[in-house]
Amino acid sequence: MTAMSERPFVLSIVIPVYNGAESVPALLEHLAALEFGPFEIVLVNDGSPDNSLQVCRDLAARLDVPITVVDLARNFGEHNAVMAGLRLARGDYIITMDDDLQNPPEEVERLWRYASENQFDVVYTYYAAKQHSPWRNFGSWLTNYLASYLIGKPRDLYLSSFRCMAAFVAEHIVRHAGPYPYVDGLIIQTTQRIGKLQVAHLPRAAGRSNYTLRRLIRLFLSMFLNFSVIPLRIASLVGGLTAVLGIIGLVMVIVEGLNGGQPTGWPSLMAVILTISGVQLIVLGLIGEYLGRAFLTLNQKPQSIVRTIERNDAAKLD
């Protein structure tokens, strides 16, 4: 990335795009109307199956604002797309936001000014009321709750995708080359100078959320397994407790036998075997997931593959 003294923009706005053909035009028209700067917009097409790429190219050709259009070779996921955008951002500060217009574009300038004037390294936004489905709100709450224990997130901080970070933070986190990036985990590993700002949250402008249950689970696993060894410690604790229960059961059987009683029969034995076997399989699966991710990282599974990078005339510096 460009050195701080050479950065041509005060702000870069990185937007991962997936099935955003209907919402991206309105979003960019609102952003282009903002009167501060200079700023640039980086659109990262994350292998979108609709015509989002062509829509982004048309907007770059039509709007008189610096726009960079990045096309990834396939769908890699939101955080991977954000990382690709951060590598190309050239602003002193970088804002990441979704393409669905649930974060009002008018809040961009306020967020940037709040971060820069208060000299925060990162500012996360939070909402008085979220306009998401109940199951997604629950998934976000659970992820944020567990993040406090797994990655050391301050408990009063909400991890939102609408965030502003200083360029030096972005420079540090894009050094992470693993195939399963978790941007918030990388941020918290980099700095503790983090602020928060309440902003509005609007209903989705078009279409439906791209966050399926499968994607939320994938995101949760990236945090759960890539940025903490606590799951392994929990597995060790569960294994230890199971062993203690087994020893207690063995003592009870021996005492019962010495007193002339008959050890408990087949149903109890099968229940114990199934319980212990289940715990063992869960622990083995957890360890296997860690090993699998380490294997893929060692074999350099790509975090993302950029097919093309296109800048309109306003974004070109020479």
Report in angstroms the alpha-carbon separations of 10 from 90, 105, 108, 166.
8, 17, 12, 10
Task: Kindly report, residue by residue over 139-152, the tens digit of the pLDDT.
Answer: 666 777 777 777 77
Mean pLDDT, the chain cut into blocks of 10 residues (318 residues total): 70 95 93 91 96 96 96 94 97 95 90 95 86 61 72 83 96 93 92 93 64 66 70 75 73 72 63 74 79 81 95 88
Task: Kindly report, residue by residue over 254-286, the tens digit of the pLDDT.
Answer: 777 677 666 556 566 766 776 777 777 777 877
Q: What is the pLDDT of residue 150?
A: 72
Q: What is the pLDDT of residue 146?
A: 73
pTM recorded for the entire structure: 0.79
What one-character-per-residue DSSP string does 65-95 give?
S-EEEEEESS---HHHHHHHHHHH--EEEEE
Q: Which residues contact 276 (CB under 8 A, 6 or more apart)?
A: 242, 246
